[in-house]
Amino acid sequence: MTEWSIVLASDLHFGKNEVYHEAKRAIVRSILRNKETDNIQMVISAGDLTEYGTDGLSFCGLRKHTTDELGLLKKEWVEPLDAAGITTLLTIGNHDTYTGHPYIYKPVMRYVAQRHNATFHPLFHMYRSGYYAYEKNGVRFLSLGVKPTYWKWIKKHLTHEMPMILFYHFNTIDTEPYSDWWSEKNKKKFDAMIEPYKKNILFIVNGHRHTSTFNKEWNGVHMINGAGVYEPVKVTMEGTRVKTIEFY
């Protein structure tokens, strides 16, 4: 079977500072340099793509943060990877919603929705945004936005027909820092919903912690946190099964 690779690099935080920007440029350079050798076909960024979710526009002088973070995300991350023919999957994190006034204007969330035909709810039910399904090489990828809460959508897109990789921003394992950003009630509901499909779930990708790990489980599901901007994770696939996982 053909081997191919997925690079996991979340919490990009475009707009944060130049140190972060240079670290991300280095990741892109490494991906492009090793694309053929490692057969890198996909990059997944599971949220916090930007620091404040802005595109440089200000409204009546009321927007505090006016850096074009969306422009930086496109220019320094998405466009170079797209140009190399690498599938680049994005989802939103809590920082991508921090736009300030007018609160309904959320350009990064809208960009993800337009790019991936994802759900978009800029004001009410905001955490139902960023949901979409994508299939490649016999694997179904499900983006679940900031955290799994859009139960009707999740139930509709889970499948027994092919292996799945799920990704969303908030980390899940209770013993980890910041895992309390979503409730135990929602975690239990999500776990119950995916229980019949766990044999088909290759792994779940989270961000949020700013630290990468790939050797943990949550209720029988392999969990990967690809949130270290200085230590992305590479998953080598052999057809539709996971062959190896390592820091990249």
Distance separating alpha carbons of residues 8 and 134, to the nearest angstrom: 16
pLDDT > 70: what percent of the chain? 95
CATH of the domain at 24: 3.60.21.10
Q: What is the pLDDT of residue 64?
A: 63
Of residues 91 and 66, more confidence is placed in 91
Q: Which residue range(s) make up the domain with 157?
A: 3-247
Q: Do the Cβ atoms of 54 and 69 come closer than 8 Å?
A: yes
Tell me what pLDDT residue 57 has: 78
pLDDT tens-digit map of 34-49 = 999 999 999 999 999 9
Distance in angstroms (rounded) separating the CA atoms of residues 72 and 61:
22
Mean pLDDT of 196-222: 96
Q: How many CA atoms lie within 13 A of 224 on its CB side?
A: 28
Per-residue pLDDT of 210-222, as tens digits, reads 999 999 999 999 9
DSSP state of 95: G
Cis peptide before 102 (omega within 30 of 0): yes
**Cα(87)–Cα(71) distance, rounded to whole angstroms?**
19
Give the global pTM.
0.95
Provide the CB-side half-sphere exposure for 134 (13 A, CA): 22
Residue 15 φ/ψ region, left for φ over 0, alpha for ψ in the -120 to 50 degree band, beta for the rest: left
CA dist., res. 28 & res. 184, Å (int):
36
**What is the arithmetic mean of pLDDT over 132-146?**
98
Number of domains in the chain: 1
The total of other beta-carbon atoms located within 10 Å of residue 3's CB is 12
CA distance 119 to 125: 11
For the segment 89-110, what is each residue's pLDDT rounded down to a tens digit?
999 999 999 886 666 789 999 9
pLDDT confidence bin for 18, thresholds 50/70/90 = confident
